[in-house]
Structure 1
Amino acid sequence: MVHPERGGTPLRALLSNQFFSLQGLDLVAGFMLYFAVFCVVGWLIEMTYLGTARQGMINSGFLQGPFIPAFACGTLLIYPFTLLAAMFPVWLQLVLFAILATIIEYMAHWTLEKILGIRIWDYSDEFLHFQGRICLKYTFFWLVLVTLLVYVLQPLAVAFIEHLPRPVLRPLALIMFVIIGADYIYSIRLFGRLSRAITRVCGLMGLESGPLHDLQFNRPRIMNEKKRVKKLLHLAANRELEQTVLTRLFVDRLWLAEPAFQAAIRDIIDHPKFQAWHDHQDNASLTYRQHLRIAELSWRFCQAMGFDATAAARGALLCAYKRCKLSPISHARTVLFPQTTVLQWVTKDLGKTNRVERDIILWYKWPINFKAPATMEALMVSFAAKLVKSLEYRPALAHLYKAELEIAAHG
């Protein structure tokens, strides 16, 4: 419902219309569609924000589709408060809305942790945080978003929904609600299955599963690894362990690996184009050494779990491959779609891949990419990659490779 008397221009009138004029079942359908719209809007905002990390397109939510229900729940709760708080000054309204959004963020985090045992975000490294669930920085972030919501997004969403033909409104609202509900059920089952797999492999390998769940599933923690590395390296013990791991584990030799593992990857590491890539620069050489360890550790994990160890080891090496010279277009593609580009390079330069290897190449960085891996082998590679690359978990590597480190020390 537009109120022309509130402003002198159509846009001003449109943005002044913050509330539905729908009634009965149409109002219920309107709110259902309002919820769906802001699930998508929240996902777009989060994806844009996370995209600044230059790690390609990242699915920013818990669900597999483009939906963030926590954001939509926040907008639904704020909706009536825009009317109830109208008597207060604008600045006080916005502060109250930001606090409300922060409370919603806390409850969403608490619910996911208690139901699934995972922490999708962690603000432990942020200034003035509470239990790693909320922090001052993101309360200011919510203040900006709430201002945008109340004065721009909410009126636009109301206008869009109210202008839908009535025969379209109810079916569309129901369809969107069913899609989001089905995605929620699927995502809970998916995370549960993946979480159980990580718990099992940790048990089989003698690792403490609790902290390592955080390593696999906590997206902001993974993305902020460099910050923690700087802090950890201030301690002499950590510097010594890091040097030990780098010099005795991350080596180009496969002298402690099983013959079957060496045979599985021999054609890849002997391929001229693969060798040209890792000999091209120091960076690539370090990446290659890391991925040798990821491949070997993935092999161990998959053997212990009864998965395809050969495909896991090969995929763990192939996903690191890069071409030495890139055109500007290719460089842009690697920024937006890094692993899709790698898969194309691997197929053209190194040969065909099987289904498991493709799944590893595309999705081993999960949750720092668009979807979860479809195969358990890819999950094992994803877990191994985080374990090998995370300085924080070097003690776990020292445990896994205890015999190798002792042999190297006396060799």
Structure 2
Amino acid sequence: MNIFLIILFLFFAGSIIGWSLEVLWRHFFSKNNPEHKWINPGFLVGPYLPLYGFSLTILFLLSFIDVSFIENKILQKAILFVCMALSITVFEYIAGLIFIKGMKIKLWDYSRCWGNIQGIICPLYTFFWYILSTVYYFFIHPRVLNWLYWFTNHLTFCLVVGFFYGVFAVDVFYSLNIMKRIRKFAKENGLVVRLENLQQHIRRVNDENKEKVHFWLSTKSEYIDIKGAVLKLKEKVMSEKKDSTENTKKH
């Protein structure tokens, strides 16, 4: 079976499933979304998160690791799942660091979580990756080969996946251009922009002014521009720091 087709399918499926999980998580459980609004969790416009696409591919490849040298069957699986969770955590750290150092943008923030490293990774989410690894191994992986057999023998579905990658490529190009504009402003002002906070601030501006605000910071005149959005966010952070300092002095 063509390994290239397998990877394409897994990335496609993982990106969409991961996006769906993140949307539900941020709506119902995220502390950064107290209003429980529906949020697009990624930096792309469409309903997909590449991080989960790569993660599913990693799980697929690691599931073939031979751990038979370990006699205890339960221990075999436990060690395999630890390897999966740690591998995805390392990948998550590298991806997060690339955006912070290269684009001056923080796509997610675990700073409030115990044991976090630079707000990019933390033990809690590594545990979540461990749980997802077990779910994948026992409930998804046994069926993957059947899915792929069906996939490679149905031209229609191949065309659907091909269409996905066409749209995905355009989306990446469009979104990265916007990220470059944010990077330019952040670099000039010595900032690292937290994308989730910026999105949240723009939603508030939208609610307060009852005006249409482009979710992805279009620079068209009828929308709020990047510079204005980031400046407002910066002013808010500075104001909160000032209030916190004044309260500390009072006490």
Matches within 5 A, 1:357-396: 357-359=211-213, 363=214, 371-375=215-219, 377-379=223-225, 380-390=227-237, 394=241
> Considering only aligned residues, what root-mean-square deviation do their CA atoms show, in Å?
3.2
Displacement of 1:149 in angstroms is 1.9
Displacement of 1:123 in angstroms is 2.2
Distance 2:170 2:66 in 1: 35
Distance 2:66 2:93 in 1: 22
Displacement of 1:381 in angstroms is 5.0
Displacement of 1:76 in angstroms is 1.0
Change (3 A) 1:135 1:85: farther
The answer for unaligned runs of 5 or more in structure 1 is 1-22, 201-208, 224-293, 295-314, 322-342, 344-356, 364-370, 396-411
Displacement of 1:46 in angstroms is 1.2
Displacement of 1:220 in angstroms is 6.5
Change (3 A) 1:86 1:170: farther
Partner of 2:245: none
Asked if 2 retains the 8 angstrom alpha-carbon contact of 1:47 and 1:59, the reply is: yes
Identity over the aligned pairs, expressed in percent? 20
Higher Rg: 1
Q: Which of 41, 47, 59 matches 1:78?
A: 59
* SS of equivalent to 1:61: coil
Asked if 2 retains the 8 angstrom alpha-carbon contact of 1:120 and 1:220, the reply is: no
* SS of equivalent to 1:123: coil
Distance 1:188 1:105 in 2: 19
Asked if 2 retains the 8 angstrom alpha-carbon contact of 1:33 and 1:176, the reply is: no
Asked if 2 retains the 8 angstrom alpha-carbon contact of 1:30 and 1:173, the reply is: no
Distance 2:190 2:26 in 1: 26
Distance 1:390 1:375 in 2: 23
Change (3 A) 1:121 1:67: same
Partner of 1:219: 196
Change (3 A) 1:156 1:94: same
Change (3 A) 1:199 1:131: closer
- C-alpha deviations, 1:267-309, integer Å up to 9, x for none? xxxxxxxxxxxxxxxxxxxxxxxxxxx9xxxxxxxxxxxxxxx
TM (normalized to structure 2)? 0.76
Asked if 2 retains the 8 angstrom alpha-carbon contact of 1:34 and 1:158, the reply is: no
Number of aligned positions between the proteins: 227
Matches within 5 A, 1:342-361: 343=210, 357-359=211-213
Task: State whether structure 2 residue 208 is matched by structure 1 residue 320.
Answer: yes
Displacement of 1:179 in angstroms is 2.2
Asked if 1 retains the 8 angstrom alpha-carbon contact of 2:18 and 2:52, the reply is: yes
Task: State whether structure 2 residue 5 is matched by structure 1 residue 29.
Answer: yes
Partner of 2:106: 119
